[in-house]
Amino acid sequence: MENIDSVKEFKPDVVHDLANPLPYADLTVDEVLAEGLLEHFDKYARFPVFYDWTRILKVGGEITVLVPDFPKIMTRYFKFGFDGFVDFLFGENMFRSEVYIGHFGNHKFGYSDKSFKEFAKLFGIETVNIEKKNLNLILHGKKTRHVSSQELDSVQIHSRANACGIGKPDLPLSFVKQKIRVFQELQDSKAEV
């Protein structure tokens, strides 16, 4: 089993930004374990990231993904008050008070057990069970079929903000992936300067 992380200070086996495709061939991995990762990708970027995890997973392989239990966290507003709640909810960029992890520390999306199951199903993942532990949801799933990138391209992602304002309320994943690539290329070109 290889440990993958984008922060080299954590001494992973493979230093890799999960916003980019994993360095493994399709259908070659028996198990995927992702703890505290998926919520750090926004509403749109989570699709290509989760697809990549399932792309490398063999049919019959197991996937375990831990994310914060957003409905449970919402109840913490009354415990922490606004300032404490916002700080708690959107994550911490200084891991264990010693490693600055930048934007990777911020939460960008939330899940309920229902929304998490529905999301995983799009990728051919059958939920075996969802465990609730402290403020987290742990989805234990099994890959029942391989879903191609082209099959997912037609998935429509609904935008409530666009539905109430300017823009299209539903965007196909193919369009979203294209816009994410343009954004990544712009970020890469800025980093080179």
pLDDT in tens, 75-127: 877 777 888 778 777 777 776 677 666 667 788 899 999 999 999 999 999 99
What's the confidence (pLDDT) of residue 93? Answer: 72
Residue 131 shares a structural domain with residue 171 = no
Query: At a CB cut-off of 8 Å and minimum separation 6, what does 100 contact?
Result: 93, 94
CATH classification of the domain holding 12: 3.40.50.150
Q: Is the pLDDT of residue 31 over 70?
A: yes
Residue 157 shares a structural domain with residue 141 = no
Dihedral angle computed from the Cα positions of residues 89, 93, 96 and 97, in that order, rounded to the nearest 10 degrees:
-120
What's the confidence (pLDDT) of residue 69? Answer: 93
Query: Number of helices and strands (H, E) in the chain?
Result: 7, 10
52-56, 172-176, 183-187, 188-192: which has the minimum mean pLDDT?
A: 188-192
Among 115, 132, 147, which residue terminates a domain? 147
Residue 89 shares a structural domain with residue 27 = yes
Q: Is the pLDDT of residue 12 over 90?
A: no
The predicted-structure confidence for 54-65, as pLDDT tens digits, reads as follows 999 999 999 999
Residue 90 shares a structural domain with residue 169 = no
Residue 20 shares a structural domain with residue 101 = yes
Residue 93 shares a structural domain with residue 130 = yes
Number of compact structural domains in the chain: 2
The predicted-structure confidence for 117-171, as pLDDT tens digits, reads as follows 999 999 999 999 999 999 999 999 999 999 999 999 999 999 888 888 888 899 9
Residue 64 shares a structural domain with residue 111 = yes
Q: Is the pLDDT of residue 1 over 80?
A: no
Euclidean distance between CA atoms 160 and 173, whole angstroms: 16
**Which range marks the domain in which residue 192 is found?**
153-193
Burial of 19 from C-beta contacts in 10 A (0-12 / 13-18 / 19+): middle
42 versus 163: the higher-pLDDT residue is 42
